[in-house]
Chains A and B, each alone.
Chain A
Amino acid sequence: MVDRHRIELVVNGETETQEVEPRRLLVDFLREDLGLLGAHIGCEHGVCGTCTVLMNGETIRSCITFAVQADGQEITTVEGLASNGKFHPVQEAFWEKQGLQCGYCTPAMMLRTVEILRENPSPTRDQVREGIASQLCRCTGYQYIIDAVLEAARTMSAGAETDGKVLVKQGAGPSSAEAAAQTQGSGPALEEEAEDASRQKES
C-alpha cells in the first residue's frame, strides 16, 4: 500500500498535476516524471548544488526537497530560462565567455546567477565568487564562470537601460510563467538526453 499524494505545481510556466509517493525527491520528479533533465544529481545531500532550481524565484536544492513540498509552488528549471527560442542573457554570457567545461554544474550555476544578479545587478568579482560558492564545479577552476556572470551583469544592465526588460525577473511571486511558457521542451538541449531517456519512469 503505497501512499500517494496528488500535487499541482507550475513548472516553467506549465501547470503540472501528478500523483507522487511522498518520498519522491523533487529532482527525481523533475527528471523522471516530467522529463526535465536540466536539474542534475550530484551528491544527493545538498552540498554540491548541481540540483539547484528556483522555487518561487529563490534557489533551492531539489535533491533535499520532496516533490510533495513543491505542491502549489512555482518551479523554474534551466529549461525555463530561454524564451521564444532565444537564450536568456545569462545563457548567452556563459556561451560567450565559455563559462563551462563538462556542463554538469552549468544549469544550476546559471539559475544561481539569475538570483545573484537579481539581488545585486552589478556585483564585484569578489561578490560573484562568494555568490557562486554554493555551486561546485570540478572542471573550470571557476575563473571563466565568474567572467560569464560579470558579462551577464553587464549585458543585463545595458539591456535594462535600453528597453527596461529583464527576462525571468522574479520577485516573491509567480512571474516567469510567460517567458517560460513557449519554450518548455523546445529550449536549447543541454546535454545527456540520450543517457537519461533510457531511465524514464520507474513507477
Chain B
Amino acid sequence: MKPAPFAYHVPSALTEALAVLDELGEEGRVLAGGQSLVPLMNFRLAQPTHLVDINRLDELDYIRRDDGVLAIGARARQSALERSQEARGAAPLLVEAVAQVAHPPVRHRGTVCGSVAHADPAAELPAALLALDAEVVASSRQGERRIPIHEFISGPFTTTLAPGELVREVRVPVSGAGSGYAFAEFSPRHGDFAVSGAAVLLQLEAGRVERASVALCGVAGMPVRAAGAEQSLRGARGSEEELEAAAAAAVEGLTPSADLHGGSAYRRRIARVCVRRAINLAFSRARGGA
C-alpha cells in the first residue's frame, strides 16, 4: 500500500525544527531515518498529518565523547555508530547491539535516537541503552529536559516525550576500564527482530562482580532491567552455578506474549539462554581486560 497524504516540513536548523514542532503540537511527527515509521505509514497503521523531516539538521549528526559521556545526536545513523571508533571505546555494548539491528541498508538510514523514540519492545538499542543507564535529551522551543531512559520509555511504542519535543540526543555514560559487556540475541533468521535478546554490563573488582547491569528486549511491552539477575550476580566470580542462577533470576516473573515466532514459555527459555551467554561473554571480556 501507499502512505496517506501528509504535509511535509523540512527545516534546515534545529531552532526552525523546534518552532515547527511547537506550532504543530500533537499533529507533528518527526521523520528521521524513517525505517520504522515509513513501513507503518505504508500499511496505513500510522497516518500522521504533518511530518517534520530532520535529515537536513547537520548540526545533529554527531557521535562524540566528552566528560565521561558518549553523546549521540538525532541525525547520527546507526551505521555511523557501528563504525565509530570513539563509540567502540566508550560504549562497546552499544556498538555490539547496533550491529545486530536489521541489515546494513536499514542501518544506513536508521538513527539511534529514532529507535529510542520509536520504543519498539523487541528493539536492540533501547535495551542496550537501558543496561547502560543512558539519558535522553528532549528539546523543545521551551527548553530542554534530560530523562533517564527507564523513565522515557513507558510502554510498547510509547514514551513520555511531550508534543512539540524532539529527541535531540542520547547520552551514554562511558563504560569504565575493567568492565565486561555483551549483547546476545536469538532470531530464527539473521537480521530479523530477535525472539529475545540480553544486554549485559559487568564491572569487576578483584575478579568479583561489583556492579552488574542486565537488560532484556522482546520479553515484555518494553525493554526491562533484570534486577533479580543483577542482585544475584553481585560478588560472583563467574562459575557455572552463578551463571545459571543469574539467568534463571533474569526471567523470573516474566510472561512474554506469544506470537508467530513462539509461545510464551519458549520466549522465556530463549531469553534465559541469551542472558546466560551474554553474562558468560561479559565475564571473559572483563577478565581479558579488553
Contact = CB atoms under 8 A, between A and B. Distances in A.
B42 to A, nearest CB: 5
B54 to A, nearest CB: 11
B261 to A, nearest CB: 15
Interface core residue of B6, B103, B108 (most chain A CB under 10 Å): B103
B43 A45 contact: yes
B38 A134 contact: no
Contact of B191 (A59, A61, A68, A134): A134
Interface string A23-53: 1010010000000000000001110010010
Interface in B15-69: 31, 34-35, 38-39, 41-43, 51, 53, 55
A165 interface: no
Interface residues of B, number: 30
Contacts of B39: 45-46, 64
A55 B39 CA distance: 19
A2 B5 CA distance: 8
Nearest to B43: A45
B10 A59 contact: no
Given A5-B8, A66-B38, A52 B105 contact: yes
Interface string B161-196: 000000000000000000000000000001100000
Interface in A1-24: 2-3, 5, 21-23
A46 B108 contact: no
Interface residues of A, number: 30
A170 B266 CA distance: 45
Contact of B42 (A63, A68, A134): A63
Contacts of B108: 55, 58-60
Nearest to A22: B8
Contact of B7 (A22, A45, A115): A22
Nearest to B7: A3
Contacts of B41: 23
Interface residues of chain B: helix, strand, loop or mixed (majority): loop
Contacts of B265: none
Interface core residue of A28, A45, A63 (most chain B CB under 10 Å): A45
A130 interface: yes
Interface string A62-73: 011110110000
Interface in B98-140: 102-106, 108-109
A133 to B, nearest CB: 5
A88 interface: no
B106 A46 contact: yes
Contacts of A3: 5, 7-8
Interface in B235-269: none
B85 to A, nearest CB: 16
Contacts of B104: 59, 115, 131, 134
Contact of B106 (A2, A5, A61, A66): A61
Contacts of B2: 23, 25, 28
Given A45-B39, A64-B35, A65-B38, A21 B5 contact: yes
A130 B35 contact: no
A27 to B, nearest CB: 11
Given A64-B39, A112-B105, A134-B104, A69 B34 contact: yes
B290 interface: no
Contacts of B35: 46, 61, 64
B13 interface: no
A64 B33 CA distance: 9
A130 B43 contact: no
A6 to B, nearest CB: 12
B208 to A, nearest CB: 37
Contact of B190 (A23, A25, A61, A130): A130
A109 to B, nearest CB: 12
Contacts of B190: 130, 133
Interface string A55-94: 1001111011110110000000000000000000000000
B148 interface: no
Contacts of A44: 1, 42
Interface of A: 2-3, 5, 21-23, 25, 28, 44-46, 49, 52, 55, 58-61, 63-66, 68-69, 112, 115, 130-131, 133-134
- What are the nearest 9 A-B pairs in CB distance? A134-B103, A22-B8, A45-B39, A64-B38, A59-B105, A23-B3, A58-B108, A133-B190, A134-B105
16 contacts: A22-B51, A23-B5, A23-B6, A45-B42, A46-B106, A49-B105, A58-B79, A59-B104, A59-B105, A60-B108, A64-B109, A65-B34, A68-B8, A68-B53, A112-B105, A134-B104
